[in-house]
Each structure stands twice: as structure tokens, then as C-alpha cells.
Structure 1
Amino acid sequence: MEQELKSDADFRLLSILVPLLAIIAGVFMVVLDSTAMNVALSTLVKDFHTELNTLQWVVTGYMLAQASVIPLSGWLSDRFGAKTVFLTAVIVFTIGSILCATPSRAEWLIAFRVLQGLGGGCVLPVGMAYVYKLAPKSKVGVVMGIMGIPVLFAPAIGPVLSGWLVEYHSWRWIFLINIPIGIICLLIGSRKLPQSVRSQVPGMDKLGMILGPLAFASLSYGVSQGADSWTSDKTLIGLSVGMLALIAFVIAEFRSETPLLELRILRSIDFSTGILVQWIAQFGLYGALFLLPQFLQQARGFGAFDTGLTMLPQAIASGLMMPIAGILFDRIGVRWLVVCGLSLVSGALFQYSHVDLATQGKDLILPLFMCGAGMGMMVMPMNTHLLNKAPSHLVNRVTSLTNSMQQVINALAVSTLVTILTSRAAARAAEMQEAAAAAGKNAANASPDALKLAAHTVLVKGFDDTFHIMIFVALGGAVLGLLLRRGSRGGKDSSKTKVQPEIMHG
């Protein structure tokens, strides 16, 4: 029986709550596993009697598998239907989780994590496009805001949960907890997710299907290796292969009549401006998301579990702000949400830039709430804005495009921040040595405790300097946010008020 989308006046959030829960469950477990394994690596070194460099591929393999499959997710949704692709991805991810809990050798764990990543890479972009299509345009901000809760909450809760499981139970439970979530997602999704009608895909972009995954996976790998050294063979090979593949991919996509990713949409000034603001905003956000946990663990000596608990106010603030930001997006558009959100993040970064060796968790509660509220205010509204700027029949392809680029930007942000932190800490160490030499002090005569204190002081100063730099990045994003245009008001956009052809019959 045909099922049409309800009009704005008739729409009720409760009417899509159950299918929305299925998508949220799938997205939550995938995003959760993106951060959970970082905590367990030291334990895996002991259990598998393997070097950390080998086990790092448990994280890297997962990331590369996701980066390689994300560009394909839009085409797969158009070709086979979003429901089929989403549920298949959840099945693959859940099977991968079961297998990840079983191995006694590191090589098998890495292989099963790659399988997990291949499934997980499709879940977020397909789920995002699915949710976007479930509601009329005037309500899409609210619905996307609810869907965004697991996107920000899962990375925050991941270290807490995995730290507790590793410390008091077993690292295998990190994967076993996915099984009931995956089953619930599949049971609800198979019954309640509206069946999406397959689009008429005129052909297959075979060259794009090779070059796209190669380009984004190689770039993600290359920039992630830049955290260790930008001149290492791994970094240079990854970046070289990635850039060559990306150039060839762009040329192929513009020439193809049936491109894998619809890059022509970048000719839209509104869309390109939105992408640029999103990249800068992500960079600014990572100054808070990535650097503060590193400060707590490296400079203050917090364990993973205590670090996760300290960061919880940020996750709570994000979760509370997401639905509110969705309502505001439907009323006022994205511009002031981005400006205010990045301003809050800038304020949080300013407070982070004054941390020292005496900083306690309670001292960070206010900036953590500010940062969480800022993220919740802008992350999903920015994604929704980009989808609004795309033609309705390209929504699946746009989520593939934006998520592919986000993978690279996230890796680039982490590597750049590590590079800046290392550089500033080295500069601070040189300043301290010069000051000590001027005062006639010799490091060789210093006590071990004094040397340890000096090393921690230098590291803290390096963190302070890096936080200072990221303030200007976030403020720059806020200024650019003023360029964002709302466009048509909710009910006046013909691309969304009509029943969309990709949706849905049950």
C-alpha cells in the first residue's frame, strides 16, 4: 500500500518516532565504536603479546574501511533502496562485532574490524539521508536534531563505557554490547522503516567506484600518519596516492554522465560556502574535542575512565541542545546557530587556554557545557542546511559527499593539532632551557622530580598555545557563518513539499 509523506500541518513527530529510533540505534553503535577501541589498545598489547604499532591498525583499519565505502553509499541507496542498504550495513556491522569479540590473534581482530568498518561506513550517511526524507521541510530541523544526539553523545560516552569494560570486565564486551543494539535496530527497522523505492540509476560509474574510495581512504590514511611525521614514507605515499586519485576522480566525475558523487553541486555558491564553513567549524571543534582529553591524560595523568567522566558535561549539553537547535533551525535558519555555536566554542577554547597543572575536573564544567552547547547548536543544523541546498533527488549523493570529506577533514584536524602541539611544546622547552641557562642552572644537576615537573610544565604550555591558536580558527568560522543564507522558508520550497520520489511505500 502506498504511503505518502504527511503535509506540514498533519505531521506529528510521534508518527516517525519508531523508525527514527531504529536509525538512531544503528548510528549510535557505529559512532560508539569509532572511539571505544582507543582506550583498549594498551590492554590488547598485553593480551595479544603484539607491538602497539601493529594493534594501531585495529583503529586505522576501521577508519580506512569506512572512508572507502562512504563514497559508494549514495549510489547504493539509489540503486538498491535506502532501507535495503541501511539494514544490510547494520547486519554486516553486527556480524563484524560478533567476530571481533572472538579472535586470539591480532591479525584476525584487524581483519574483523575492517569488516565492521565496511558496514559502519554506510550507516551514518544513509541514515542521515533517510531521516532527512522522513519529515516535511518545515520540521526537518527538529527531526535531524534528534538524530544528531547519538552523533555527538556516542563519542563522549565511548571512552567512559570502554574504560569501565576494559578495567572491570573484558575488552571483548566493547563488541558484544553491539549485538543487542544491532538486533533491536534490525527488528524495528525491518518492520517500521518505510520501504524506499529504487531510483532509476541509468548506469554505473565504474571508474569513479575505484578512484573515489582509493582517493578518500588514501588521503585519510596519509593525513592520519601526519600526526607522527609529515615527512615519513607512510605519510608521503598516502598523500601522494590520495591526491593523484582525487584529481583523477574529480576529472572522471565531471566527465561522467552518471557520476558516483555529484560534484557539480559544488558550483552552487550557497552549497560551497556551507561546505567551507563546515570544514572550518570541524577544525575548531576538534580543538576542543581532541585536545582537552589529551591534556587530561598526558599533562594531568587522568585515566581513560576518569577522562570520560570529566568530559560528560559536554555530551549532556550537546544532547540537550540538539533538539532545541533543530526547532530554532526551522524558525530562523542556520546562520545565527553557526555564529552563536562557534562563539560558544571560542569562549570554551579561551578558558581551556588557561589550564595548568592544578586544573581539576570541576574547573572545566562551565567551558565543557559551553563547548557542548556550541556543538549541539551547529553540527546537525549545518548538515541539514547543506541537504536543503541540494536538489531532493541528490540527497543520497550529498550525504556521501559531505561524509567522505568529513573523514578526511577529521583526520587532518587531528594530525595538524598534534603537529602544532608538538611544535609549541618544543618551543616552550627551548625557552625554558634558555631561561635556566641565563640563571646559571644546569639540567644535569636537577632532581628527577624537578625534571618531571619541568616536562609537564612545558607540555601544559604547549597545550595552552595550541588552544589559543584554535580560538582564532573557531572565530574565523563564526565570521564566515555570517555568509550563510537561509534560502526559501520551510513550506515554500517546492523540492521538499511534494512527496519525494525516493520515499516510500510500506
Structure 2
Amino acid sequence: MPHSGPSASGDVTGAGKLDRDVLKVAAVVVLGSIMAILDTTVVNVALQELTVRFQTSFATIQWVSTGYMLALAAVIPVTGWASDRFGTKRLYLVALSVFLLGSVLAGLSWNIETLIGFRVLQGLGGGMLMPAGMTLLTRAAGPQRVGQVMALLGVPMLLGPIGGPILGGWLVDTVSWRWIFFINVPIGLVALVATTVFLPQDEPERADRFDFPGMLMLSPGLALLLYGVANVPGAGGVSRPEVWLPAGLGAVLVAGFVLRATRIPNPLIDLGLFRDRTFSVAVLAMAFFSVSFFGVMLLFPSYFLLVRGESALSAGLLMAPQGIGAMLTMPVAGKLADRIGPGRVILPGIVAIAAGLALFAGVGAGTAYWQLLAALFVVGLGVGAAMMPIMVAALRTLRHREVARASTATNIIQQMSGAIGSAVMSIILAGVLAAKFGVPTSQGQLAAGAALADPATHDAAAAAAADSFGTAFTWGLVFMVVSAVPAALLLRKAPLRDELVPDVVDVPVGKTVV
């Protein structure tokens, strides 16, 4: 991997303001980042509409998000290898093309199965955009200006949770649900042209051996395991073939991955990292945190849409306080984590999220909107305080040579935990709705919608639906509280390894800059 060299403007040290050539690269990378980040949030507000359009349930429709997140996780480790093997500019062009193709096909979907499949394709492209773009930008800027370029990349990260639901809601209400995918086409085409024109060509290098068998075991194995578990409510038990067959095959693949990872030199996830106590504790906290957070993120807009009868745009606007809260605390949390230790920032953040979720756990059909918005704002404050410091805590006590592998591992685990959370919360909600309305699991959400639309049954249906959401939110609260247990173990400030931060920063593609 080549080291960051002089900037195009001739600044040998790379220090100072970002020059025009670096800003061109930044514009290209931000375009790609905006698409990838928006697509993790823009779909949530459309799930209710998609459920009705495709006559399905929460347990099925959640795969539109879960499949995307699993695909993101699958390509995180392959991105670094592919960048070395083919060149980062070529990889970025391929990632944009795959993402655009997936977006167009998702917008043309004719049933729920094709939509989920095309979302997976979209996720494979989206998962490569952020890490490849980060590498392009850090190389162009040089090691002395990494902080400035990270600030540029932080813009879409901060705006995504606010703009995604609002944009998605507006498109669903005024145009069509298909345009939450078609909107990527003009942005992506501009990004493709700009990439071709503005990004410098880099030459491929000799790449390390990549663990393709591990990748083909872990992501499909987890998907099959989740699919089997998701079938439990509809099948009526674990004895049905549609439950134990995919779940059993998934468990075998995941177990095979773990066994193989302990026996080869360069596994997809280096399990030897878990010998470090701080890393293990931080990853455990991050896993439960992600299960809770990404799970409830799927539920928030659906509550406003189904129980309160809001339009998609209104539901997106009602989600804004959470994004605003995160935007306020995220920049401060990073500085505090460095100064006083990440554990002392993470735990208050988790407590804030739990406090916000406590209100939603007892939510009713008539809970005051000011209470809901205040709770979402508090949740956002907590998310901004806890999410990135958890990642920092996982890497703080590792040696420099371990950081790249640990960064890849934590990103994979975060995405996969988020996918598990989306699946689990949706399965819980689908099962409770079906029980409340006395219908099969696949019909629970549709039955609730029909009862809510009838004035004669609206009040009773609203109370039952709200209670169902309250049950699902309670599980989200439980997972968040559980994450506080390992987070509390991070309060003790662990000694830093001298090797952690090198004098010259060279960011490999697919790795996280801390």
C-alpha cells in the first residue's frame, strides 16, 4: 500500500488548508458516501408502505434492511484486498456501478423476494464505497491533514440520520416508494463521471491472500441462521423444516468459520484479538448496543405510521430530533473519549438511550408528541455519545500492527449485530401483532392496519398495536441495559500501548481511522 505522498499542489509536508485537487477528490467521495449512508436510513420510513404494497409482515419486510446490512458487512474485509489487487480508483468505480445497478433494480422490483435480493446487491456496492472513498481521500490529503478530511466525511454521517427519513418520507408521499431507490441514479451518475475525471489513477499492488472461504461461510451462515429464527412464529415452533433446516445449516457454517479462523494465518476476523480484555469487553458492549439501536431504529417510524396514522413525510420529520441529538454530542464525545477515557463517555450515553427507550417501552396510542420527541432527542444524545467511543475503546489498547485487523473486525461485528437487531425486533413485533389480532404472523401488520382504518374498531386496534410496539421497544431497552454491563468495565482507563499511533498515518482501504 503506497504511503501518502506530497499533495498535488506541491505541499511537501501535506500540512495546511486543503487544496483544490484534494477538494475535488473530497467532492467525489462525499457524493458516494451520501448515497451509501442515506440508504441505511431512507428505507425505514418506507417499510410500512412496502408491507402494504407487497402484502407481507414485519418479519419479512425487515429483510429489506437486514439483507442490506449483511451485504455491507460481507464486503468490508474484501475491500482492502480488492483495492490492492485492482487499484482503489477501479474499485471505487466498480462499487458505484454495483450500487447504481442495485438501486435501479430495487426500484423496479415486482415482489418482496426481488426487492430483498436487489437490496443485497445494492449493499455489496454500498459497503465498498465508504472505506474505498476514505482511502482515496486520506491519500490525496496526506498524513498531516487526515483530521480535516475526516471532518468532510463526517458531514454525510451526521446529516444522514436527519435527512434520510425526511427524504424517504417525502418521496413515498409525493412520488412513489420506488423513488427512494431511483433517487440514487442522478447522484450516482454524477459521481461516476466525477470519479473518472478527477480521481488520479493508482496502480495495483501485490495483495495478501484473502480468506474467501471464510467470507462465504460467515455472511451466508448468519443470514441462514436469522432466516430460520425468523420463521419460528409463522411455523409455530422449531420442529418445522423451514425453521431447523436453514437455522441448522447457518449454525454449521458459522461454526465452520470459527473453527477455520483459529487455524489459518489471515482469517476474515482475527479471533486472537479477543485475548485482549479491553477489546473483548468493548466488542461485547458494541454488539448488544448495535442489536438494540439498529433494531429500534426500524421500529420508531413504523410506530408513527401504523399507530398514529402519520404520513411518511411526517414520520420522517418526527425522527429528526434523534439525528439532531446525535449531531450535538458526536463531535464532543470524540474529544472527551481521548481526554477522560471512552468508558466514561460510553456509559452516560447508554444511560441516556435507555432513558429514552423507557418511555417508548410504555408507549400508548395517545402518548403526547412532546414526550415522544423529547425521548427521541435524548436517545440521539446518547447515540452520539456512545457509538464512536465504543469503537475507540476497542482499539485503544492494541498494538499498531493489530489495529487494522481489529478495525475490520469491529466494523463487521457492528454491521452483523445491527442486522440481528433489525431481524429480532421485527420478529418480536410481528409475533405480538399477530397474537393481538388473532391472525397468522404473516397477516398481523395487515390486520392491524385494517382494524385501525375502521372507525368502529380504531380505538381498540390502536391500543393493541401500541402495546405490541411497547413490547418490542421493551426488548430494545433490555438489550441496551445489557450493553451497559460490559460498558461499565470500560470505566477503568486502560494503559495505552506506545505502538498504537504511528508517526505517519497511512490508512489502508477498508480500515477505520481512529
Q: Which residue of 1 aligns with 2:213?
A: 207
Q: Which residue of 2 aligns with 1:444?
A: none
> How many angstroms apart in 2 are the aligned matches of 1:45 and 1:340?
36
Partner SS for 2:42: helix
Aligned residues with identical type, % of pairs: 34
Q: Does 1:481 align with 2:487?
A: yes
C-alpha displacement of 1:371: 0.9
> How many angstroms apart in 2 are the aligned matches of 1:266 and 1:241?
26
Q: Does 1:239 align with 2:239?
A: no
> How many angstroms apart in 2 are the aligned matches of 1:383 and 1:373?
17
Which of 98, 119, 126 pairs up with 1:120? 126
Residues 1:3 and 1:35: Cα distance change in structure 2 (over 3 Å): closer
TM-score, normalization: structure 2?
0.76
Q: Which residue of 2 aligns with 1:344?
A: 352
Residues 1:158 and 1:69: Cα distance change in structure 2 (over 3 Å): same
TM-score, normalization: structure 1?
0.77
Q: Which residue of 2 aligns with 1:253?
A: 261
Query: Per-residue CA shift, 1:375-413, capped at 9, x if unaligned?
Result: 112212322443445555555544443333233322322
Q: Does 1:162 align with 2:161?
A: no
> How many angstroms apart in 1 are the aligned matches of 2:496 and 2:140?
18
Q: Which residue of 2 aligns with 1:272?
A: 280
Q: Does 1:333 align with 2:341?
A: yes
Residues 1:124 and 1:325: Cα distance change in structure 2 (over 3 Å): same
Query: Per-residue CA shift, 1:327-368, capped at 9, x if unaligned?
Result: 333433321221121111122122333432222433322222
C-alpha displacement of 1:170: 3.3
CA contact (8 A) 2:228 2:242 kept: yes
Residues 1:234 and 1:140: Cα distance change in structure 2 (over 3 Å): farther
Which of 262, 267, 270 pairs up with 1:262? 270
> How many angstroms apart in 2 are the aligned matches of 1:320 and 1:462?
32
C-alpha displacement of 1:372: 0.9
> How many angstroms apart in 2 are the aligned matches of 1:324 and 1:409?
25
Residues 1:149 and 1:391: Cα distance change in structure 2 (over 3 Å): farther
Report the RMSD for the aligned CA atoms in angstroms. 4.4
Q: Which residue of 2 aligns with 1:69?
A: 75
1:388-427 aligned within 5 A = 388-392=396-400, 397-418=405-426, 420-421=428-429
Q: Which residue of 1 aligns with 2:184?
A: 178
Residues 1:13 and 1:235: Cα distance change in structure 2 (over 3 Å): farther
The residue type paired with residue 215 of structure 1 is: G
Query: Per-residue CA shift, 1:273-307, capped at 9, x if unaligned?
Result: 11101012223324642333333233222232221
Which of 432, 448, 454 pairs up with 2:460? 454
Structure 1 unpaired stretches of 5+: 431-447
Q: Does 1:281 align with 2:289?
A: yes
1:282-297 aligned within 5 A = 282-286=290-294, 288-297=296-305
Q: Which residue of 2 aligns with 1:361?
A: 369
The residue type paired with residue 217 of structure 1 is: A
The residue type paired with residue 264 of structure 2 is: S
Partner SS for 2:262: helix
Structure 2 unpaired stretches of 5+: 8-12, 439-453, 510-514
> How many angstroms apart in 1 are the aligned matches of 2:128 and 2:121?
12
> How many angstroms apart in 2 are the aligned matches of 1:150 and 1:463?
30
Deviates more, 1:261-270 or 1:421-430: 421-430
The residue type paired with residue 407 of structure 1 is: Q
> How many angstroms apart in 1 are the aligned matches of 2:183 and 2:481?
39
1:52-91 aligned within 5 A = 52=56, 62-63=68-69, 65-91=71-97
